[in-house]
Structure 1
Amino acid sequence: MAMEYGHGYGQAAGTGHRLPAALRAPFEARTWREFGYVLLSLPVSVVLFSWTVTMVALGAGLLVTFLGIPVLAAALAGCRGFGVLERGRARGLLGVDVADPEPLRMRKPGPAAWMGALLKSGASWRHALYALVQFPWAVFAFSVAVTFWTCGWGLLTYPLWFWVFPAYVGRGGLQLYGDAHHSVYLDNPFEITVTALVGLVFTLFTPWLVRALTTVDGLLVRGLLGPSPLSARVVELESDRGTVVDTAAADLRRIERDLHDGAQARLVGLAMDLGLAKEKLREDPRTAARMVEEAHGEVKTALQELRDLARGIHPAVLTDRGLDAALSAVASRCTVPVKVEVDLPARPAPAIEGIAYFTVSELLQNISKHSRARTASVDVWRAEDRLMLQVTDDGVGGADVARGSGLAGLAARLDAVDGVLLVDSPAGGPTRVIAELPWRPGA
């Protein structure tokens, strides 16, 4: 694993506004996009609702014959097609980015398999439910938004068009009240001003009302037109399983390479040297004794290589004495002084303990190779249902998961067990890496 250090950090520049958000809202592009979404929702929902109710009712009625199944499948297929439109509309006008639902699972191609997959798909029925739920909501949102929006702007601009009433209608202004005996018109300067102020309140309030209405639309799109939490979790677990399998395969290849190039090659050479020593034992005992002595040294080296290899697989000190002793042993081999603090009420599960050990071990190796640090520290503690690891150093900084393949691989390994890797490493240091793992108590 290699941690890359470098520069090139940027800062997001903030943009200030002179007007408060409440005064800007009626003129912002976001407000008009949201209002446009509400306007479009009514005709779209009418078509979608009509399609769904007609086709589902027709298909249900025809289920006594074989024709009901293809009609129901066509109804659900149409709903999924409208779902594509609705996700695109929400993405373009509301900024709500919803992933596509899980694809149809067909064991074999063909019309019958396609219809069966549609009818068995929970996502298809959620699309149909969206058509039924969204229609009444779209009618309500359209009525409220249009009413408030037109009243607000109409009253706000009343001073500009109130002259229409005396000029063309024969009245003093907009009629506020009237019966057979008495009428009240908004026709004097005070009433016109109050009317405009009421319109201003409506105009300033309507954008936030529309935003609340479209928030509900966003929730409907996310909840009914996107992937279900269960299917998303299945996809995540499948990805994590692939990561675990790839990591295990890479570890096996590394162990095989170390055995083949290290201890195995040394033991083969040792066997040959002992064979030569055996042949020379009678002819030249002194030379044979020297060769045996050299072979003894090779045995010691091979044993040390095997110990190092076994430590890389799973160190005995971790099994026997836990994280505190194992991490202290790793820290003693680091090229910079490392302070180790382990505060755990009990030992975690062996699998979590092993992942924690190798995570800290790889981070300390990176500190030795790349950080140019003078000191480092390792802290381990439990926070509710999480095992927390923190490795810090005062080196040059610049570590980045996006650029460092080693850090990216370590993050993928942690993610495979629902862990998280966070890196805070500004240019110039210091570097702080926090790893979170799920806490699972040991036996």
Structure 2
Amino acid sequence: MATEYGQGYGHGLGHPEHGFPEHGERRHRMPAVLRAPFAARTWREFGYVLLGLPISIMLFVYAVTMVSLGAGLLVTFLGVPVLAAALAGCRGFAALERVRARALLHLDVGDPEPLRTRSGGFMAWVGAVLKSGTSWRSVLYAVLHFPWAVFSFSVAVSLWTYGWALLTYPLWFWVFPVWAGQDGLQLFGDETHSIYLDNPFEITVTALVGLVFTLATPWIIRALTTVDRVMVHGLLGPSQLATRVVELESDRGVVVDTAAADLRRIERDLHDGAQARLVALAMDLGLAKEKLTEDPQAAARMVDEAHGEVKTALQELRDLARGIHPAVLTDRGLDAALSAVASRCTVPVEVQVDLEQRPVPAIEGIAYFTVSELLQNISKHARATWASVDVWRVENRLMLQVVDNGVGGADVSAGSGLAGLAERLDAVDGILVVDSPQGGPTRVTAELPWRTV
């Protein structure tokens, strides 16, 4: 296995849900609640809410008008192209919304599947637009987002405006007695009496209330834009079916490439190993046959050497067969097969397999070769003195964990080794997580789907 050790873990498979820090995460001394009103994220999200209202108004008016017009004209031939144009326009607005979400919300939502037409022509395009689920989801987004945009705009602008206005009231309350002819900001007033915020205590309380509003508004805006994220991702992104089809197509390519690479490896091992040895053996036996009558002792020595070559060739063929699929795995399962692999590792390995039943042969084989490659990696690169292999089941997942006390620094982004292993696991909906800080220890955890025979 060609994984490099000593390169650092900074580009590995760290993920917050696994307890690893995100790339570029910074530590701040000031609490987040105090930073929020000045954070770039807050102003980006506030800008998203501000732009959302005019865009949603245009989108809502366009969608309702055009769809209603197209539906009303369905009694004639014109209704079909008008309805298709309405859906196409909504798809265009949807593309704009995805760009806006990427720029202001940093929401990485993929583009939906393109229109698929079996033949060219205007009517083929009309049919593709009308049959596309993406088109109708765009219309649904136009209808649902309008009332939400009105609500989020009203809440965000009101809270943001009142918060900053009240917070800065001590700086501008003098405007009222100088220019408005009253003591301060009027809190209450009727025909008999009025209450103004004009003394130091009331001004201080007003500023404190504004501070509360100012500190709370960024989190309220964040909650409002969370709904927008859900709507954009759910209605304007690719459908789950389309995403799954793309994943399966990618996984199929990985499986095909892996199978082709394995076949090339087997062919190379046969050509360079057992085949070459058998060719040399045939030549030696031919020479021994010629010398059998002239020099029996020399012929006997050559036959003895050929016998040794036969043993070596048989061992190479056994190793090759074990590399394709070991018989012990088929006959006795993962526990015995992994124990056999561990016995060939250059460091002591403790194997613990806790499985009440065996998974399907395909998953069992992938688990075996995953552990085999990881142990081979430990033998070649880790400079460890011990290692452990644990296999267990958690609900519908088969869990593998290989730990060693080596130098660490395993890098899954090196382009080979662990990266190739991660691609193989991903082809069957598996996951590879690497925790390998400099100086060790290295902990590699793999998840595979649990499927029984």
Question: What's the CA shift string for 1:223-265, capped at 9, x where partnerless?
Answer: 1111222221221111111111111111111112222232233
Aligned-pair CA distance for 1:200: 3.5
Identify which of structures 1 and 2 has the higher relative contact order when contacts are C-alpha pairs closer than 8 Å and 6+ apart: 2
1:425 equivalent among 425, 436, 440? 436
* 1:103-142 → structure 2 map (5 Å cutoff): 103-142=114-153
Shift of the 9–32 alpha-carbon distance from structure 1 to 2, 3 Å rule, reads same
Q: How many Å apart are 1:435 and its aligned residue?
A: 1.7
> Aligned pair 1:63/2:74, yes or no?
yes
- Superposition CA RMSD, Å: 2.6
Partner of 1:6: 6
| Aligned residue identity for 1:37 | Y
Match of 1:414 among 408, 419, 425: 425
Alignment of 1:145-164 (within 5 A): 145-164=156-175
One-letter amino acid of the counterpart of residue 118, structure 2: R
SS in 2 for 1:405: coil
Query: Aligned equivalents of 1:156 and 1:295: distance in 2?
Result: 95
Q: Distance in 2 between matches of 1:424 and 1:226?
A: 32
Determine if contact 1:87/1:221 at 8 Å carries over to the other structure.
yes
> Could you say what secondary structure the match of 1:185 adopts?
strand
TM-score normalised by structure 2 residue count: 0.88
- What code does the residue aligned with 1:184 have? S
8 A Cα contact 2:44 2:105, kept in partner = yes
Provide structure 2 residue ranges, at least 5 long, that are not aligned to the other structure. Answer: 11-20
Which of 302, 324, 336 is matched with 2:335 structurally? 324
Structure 1 residues 169-248: aligned runs within 5 Å: 169-179=180-190, 181-186=191-196, 188-189=198-199, 190-248=201-259
- Aligned: 1:372 with 2:372: no
C-alpha displacement of 1:386: 2.1
Q: Deviations over 1:387-421 (max 9, x none)?
A: 22222222222211112511110111111112122
Deviation at 1:61, TM superposition (A): 2.4
Map Cα deviations across residues 203-229 of structure 1 (whole Å, 9 max, x no partner): 333332222212211211111111222
User: How far apart, CA to CA, are the structure 1 residues paired with 2:385 and 2:206?
Assistant: 73
Structure 1 CA distance for aligned equivalents of residues 439 and 127 of structure 2: 60
Q: Residues 424 and 144 of structure 1: is their aligned pair in 2 closer, same or farther, counting only changes over 3 Å? A: closer
Match of 2:13 in 1: none
Q: Does 1:17 align with 2:18?
A: no
- 1:385 touches 1:439 (CA, 8 Å); kept in 2? yes
Q: CA deviation at 1:87?
A: 1.7
Alignment partner, residue 400 of structure 1: 411
Q: What amino acid maps onto 2:123 in structure 1?
A: A
Distance 1:134 1:274, change over 3 A: same
Helix, strand or coil at the partner of 1:387: strand
Give the length in aligned residue pairs: 440
Counterparts of 2:9 and 2:400, CA distance in 1: 25
Structure 1 residue 161 displacement after superposition: 4.2
Contact 1:2 1:404 in 2 (8 A): no
Which of 68, 77, 80 lines up with 2:88 in the alignment? 77
Separation in 1, partners of 2:440, 2:157: 56
> Residue 3 of structure 2 aligns to which amino acid in structure 1?
M
Q: CA deviation at 1:356?
A: 1.2
Partner amino acid, structure 2, of 1:17:
R
In structure 2, relative to structure 1, the CA distance for the partners of 1:23 and 1:8 (3 Å cut) is: closer
SS state of the match for residue 417, structure 2?
helix
Please give the alpha-carbon distance, in whole angstroms, between the structure 1 residues aligned to 2:159 and 2:376: 64
Once the two structures are overlaid, the 10-residue window that deviates more, 141-150 or 42-51, is 141-150
Distance change in 2, residues 1:340/1:201 (3 Å): closer
Cα–Cα, structure 1 residues 216 and 274, in superposed 2: closer, same or farther, change >3 Å?
A: same
Asked if the contact 1:172–1:185 (Cα under 8 Å) also holds between the matched residues in 2, the reply is no
1:437 aligned to 2:448? yes
What are the residue-to-residue correspondences of 1:23-34 with 2, within 5 Å? Answer: 23-34=34-45
Q: Tell me the CA shift for residue 117 of structure 1.
A: 2.5
In structure 2, relative to structure 1, the CA distance for the partners of 1:298 and 1:25 (3 Å cut) is closer
Deviations 1:267-288 (A, max 9, x none): 3343444445455555655554
My pick for the range that moved more, 420-429 or 65-74, is: 65-74
One-letter amino acid of the structure 1 residue matched with residue 380 of structure 2: K
Distance 1:375 1:107, change over 3 A: same
For residues 256-295 of structure 1, the aligned pairs below 5 Å read 256-278=267-289, 281=292, 285-295=296-306
Match of 1:58, as an amino acid?
L
The question of whether the paired residues in 1 share the 8 Å contact of 2:402 and 2:445 is answered with yes
Q: Hey, what's the Cα distance between the residues in 1 that align with 2:378 and 2:174? A: 79
- Residues 175 and 313 (structure 1 numbering): CA distance in 2 closer, same or farther, change over 3 Å? same
TM-score normalised by the chain length of structure 1? 0.90
User: What are the superposed Cα offsets for residues 306-346 of structure 1, whole Å, 9 maximum, x if unpaired?
Assistant: 11111111111111112222122212222222222222222
Change (3 A) 1:15 1:357: closer
1:363 aligned to 2:357? no
- The one-letter amino acid of 1:112's match is M
Q: In the aligned structure 1, how far is the partner of 2:379 from the partner of 2:46?
A: 58
Contact 2:382/2:408 (8 A) holds in 1: yes
CA–CA separation in structure 1 for the residues paired with 2:395 and 2:163: 52
**Which 10-residue stretch deviates more, 287-296 or 309-318?**
287-296
- C-alpha spacing 1:25/1:338, structure 2 compared with 1 (3 Å): closer
Q: Give, in whole Å, the separation in 1 of the partners of 2:403 and 2:206.
A: 64
Deviation at 1:173, TM superposition (A): 4.3
- Does structure 1 conserve the Cα–Cα contact (< 8 Å) formed by 2:409 and 2:436? yes
CA distance in 1, matches of 2:238, 2:380: 43
Does the 8 Å contact 1:4/1:404 carry over to 2?
no
5+ residue gaps, structure 1, are none
> Which residue identity does 1:29 align to in structure 2?
A
